[in-house]
Amino acid sequence: MSTEYETPIVSVDIVLLTLKEGQLYTALALRDKEPFAGQWALPGGYIHTNEDQDDVDAAARILLAKAGLKSPYYEQLRTFAGRHRDPRGWSVSIAHYALVPFEQLAHVEHDHLKWVPVDSLRGLPFDHLAILQTAVSRVRSKTLYSSLPLYLMPETFTLTELQKVYEGVLGATLDKHGFRRRIKELDVLVEVPGAVSTGTGHRPAQQYRLKRKVNLATADSNLGLKAPA
Amino acid sequence: MSTEYETPIVSVDIVLLTLKEGQLYTALALRDKEPFAGQWALPGGYIHTNEDQDDVDAAARILLAKAGLKSPYYEQLRTFAGRHRDPRGWSVSIAHYALVPFEQLAHVEHDHLKWVPVDSLRGLPFDHLAILQTAVSRVRSKTLYSSLPLYLMPETFTLTELQKVYEGVLGATLDKHGFRRRIKELDVLVEVPGAVSTGTGHRPAQQYRLKRKVNLATADSNLGLKAPA
DNA sequence: TTAATAGTGTCTGTCAGACACTATGTG
DNA sequence: CACATAGTGTCTGACAGACACTATTAA
């Protein structure tokens, strides 16, 4: 009990997700240090004990530094800890995931950051593939019973666009009427006065935006879509 | 980026739960070191990087050392991290929860460990009250759609006893027929040949035990009880 | 008028909650 | 036989999935 033990390495890794062309994409950062220098991995970094108040703070700071953006939604995923996940030794990674609308990051791709479809990914350094898969599975399962995908939407959008995003996240198609019934029950959207279409060759759709003062984190957990077959 | 930062303190804390007299109880350990020496807190300790393979290993070792028992069920709860939760400075607690049948721990109460009802608890050192509440809420919500409370049962038990345990965890009453329908759907129990009652003054009940080779962790997530009103 | 999507009405099978009923032991 | 709990049959309202229908714009 009184022996001193080597301290584990503590870092924060982030699974940053977006929806692009109907598919979930994750951000990968080019590692500039050992181990795995020159390889693509989940963006991550050490906790700065002098500036970060907590782990979410650290995640936000790291994302801003590595990707130059602020995500509207962060959540702790889980912690991956053990002796063998990092060649430097016993390590702890407090993994987080974040969602960001594709429109908001069209400009952030640069030499040290790239976007790849989550489903086509095979190998990643450390246990980052397991972390990514855990995040994707969490997001998909939350999508079944919450309004999480709203964080992937731009300022205003139509219900059909929202449905496409849900379908993209889930990788399944949903019934239109049932989908609208549930979104309405959530009661987190308001109509935007000006309907929009202008030249689509068909009936224009109502635009919606998030209700002001709605905290989606608490408004979650009442959607109840059924898992796809 | 190249600056060195102070390393956060990393520990593992455990919410050990059992059901006693129809109520959820948690184990508290008497702290023998600063900070908060002499106060009751969740059992916890440092990671031993030379012997623990991962965080679950550490949790099992700590529980064995502090309470002298092995729990049939461990799961990582979430990680509590930040600057202000521990007076020693920036700290990380990888919190776990564990379930153990009351019968298995009748003998483990001693000077440095005590059992208290979770709902009557007010103050605890660090952020241990928040950790405890998170664990209880997790267990209650998992109980609604999984077979988690089976970890609180002795070797053999009747369906009525199992229902009482579910009701104790949830703090609500359940319909007998509906409860049995769902347990049957889970398909994780088998009848024990000898029915038992011997002197109860009424019809004896069938005893059940867990099916062999059933991993409850994977058999979970299909119960579907409705949240109490 | 047609094409194309927006938006709504309605049927039906499933299933959870409620509750009543039968079964089987003890005293 | 009375009593207490074990165990089951069945009704019903809510609701999700399916699908058909109407509405509204552009060309």
Task: Compute how many other C-beta atoms are within 10 angstroms of the C-beta atom of residue B30.
Answer: 16
| Ramachandran area for residue B213 (φ above 0: left; ψ -120 to 50: alpha; else beta) | left
Question: Does B222 contact chain A (CB < 8 Å)?
Answer: no
Q: What separation, in Å, do the N-terminal and C-terminal C-alpha atoms of chain B show?
A: 52
Residue type, B127: D
Q: Which residues pair with A113 in a beta bridge?
A: A29, A110
Identify the closest residue of chain A to B95 by CA–CA distance: A79
What is the predicted pLDDT for the residue at A187? 92
- Under an 8 A CB cutoff, do A79 and B82 touch? no
| Ramachandran area for residue A11 (φ above 0: left; ψ -120 to 50: alpha; else beta) | beta
Nearest by Cα to A12 from A46, A54, A53: A46
Which nucleotides of strand C come closer than 7 angstroms to any CB of the protein? Answer: 3-10, 15-20, 23-27
Nearest by Cα to A163 from A154, A171, A153, A174: A174
Q: What percent of chain A has pLDDT over 90?
A: 76
Does an H or E element contain B85, and which?
A: none
Produce one character per residue of A30-46: b if its CB has 16 or more CB atoms within 10 Å, e if not: bbeeeeeeeebbbbbbb
Is A143 in contact with A166 (CB distance < 8 Å)?
Answer: yes
Question: Does A2 contact chain B (CB < 8 Å)?
Answer: no
Q: How many CB pairs under 8 A join A and B?
A: 77
Which nucleotides of strand D come closer than 7 angstroms to any CB of the protein? Answer: 3-10, 16-20, 23-27
Helix axis angle for B159-170 and B128-145, nearest 10°, is 140
Q: How far is CA A225 from CA A143, A179, B207, in A?
A: 8, 8, 37
Q: Which of A10, A48, A76 lies nearest to residue B78, judging by beta carbons?
A: A76
Judge whether residue B182 contacts strand C, using its CB and a 7 Å cut-off. yes
The residue that minimises its CA distance to C1' of C24 is B203
d(CA B95, CA A76): 13
Judge whether residue A202 contacts strand C, using its CB and a 7 Å cut-off. yes
* Out of A173-177, A218-222, B38-42, least confident range: A218-222
- Under an 8 A CB cutoff, do A5 and B83 touch? no
Secondary structure letter of residue A87 according to DSSP: T
d(CA A17, CA A193): 31
What is the predicted pLDDT for the residue at A40? 97
Nearest by Cα to A17 from A100, A138, A78, A129: A100
At A110, the pLDDT band (50, 70, 90 cuts) reads confident
Q: What percent of chain B has pLDDT over 90?
A: 76
**Å separating the CA of residue A178 from the C1' of nucleotide C11:** 14
Q: Which residues pair with B82 in a beta bridge?
A: A54, B91
- Give per-residue pLDDT as tens, B21-66: 999 999 999 999 999 999 999 999 999 999 999 999 999 999 999 9
Nucleotide with the nearest C1' to B203 CA? C25
pTM to 2 decimal places: 0.92
| 3-state DSSP assignment of residue A131 | helix
Nearest by Cα to B92 from A131, A128, A49: A49
Nearest by Cα to B158 from B200, B212, B215, B106: B200
Strand segments, DSSP code E, in chain A are 9-20, 23-30, 40-41, 44-46, 73-82, 91-99, 113-117, 157-158, 189-191, 207-210
d(CA A6, CA B168): 42
Q: Which residues pair with A15 in a beta bridge?
A: A97
Q: What is the mean pLDDT of residues A200-216?
A: 83
d(CA A99, CA A102): 9
Chain B residues whose CB is inside 8 A of the A8 CB are: 10, 47, 49
Q: Is the pLDDT of residue A145 over 60?
A: yes
- Under an 8 A CB cutoff, do B7 and A10 touch? yes
d(CA A124, CA A18): 19
Residue type, A50: N
d(CA B24, CA B166): 11
Q: How far is CA B17 from CA A73, A117, A212, B133, B181, in A?
A: 32, 41, 41, 12, 27
Q: What is the mean pLDDT of residues A56-77?
A: 94
Question: Does B120 contact chain A (CB < 8 Å)?
Answer: no
Judge whether residue B49 contacts strand C, using its CB and a 7 Å cut-off. no
- Under an 8 A CB cutoff, do A79 and B89 touch? no
Print pLDDT tens along chain B (229 aa). Answer: 446 788 999 999 999 999 999 999 999 999 999 999 999 999 999 999 999 999 999 999 999 999 988 998 999 999 999 999 999 999 999 999 999 999 887 666 678 999 999 998 988 999 999 999 999 999 999 999 899 999 999 999 999 999 999 999 999 999 999 999 999 999 999 999 877 767 778 899 999 999 986 655 544 444 445 544 3
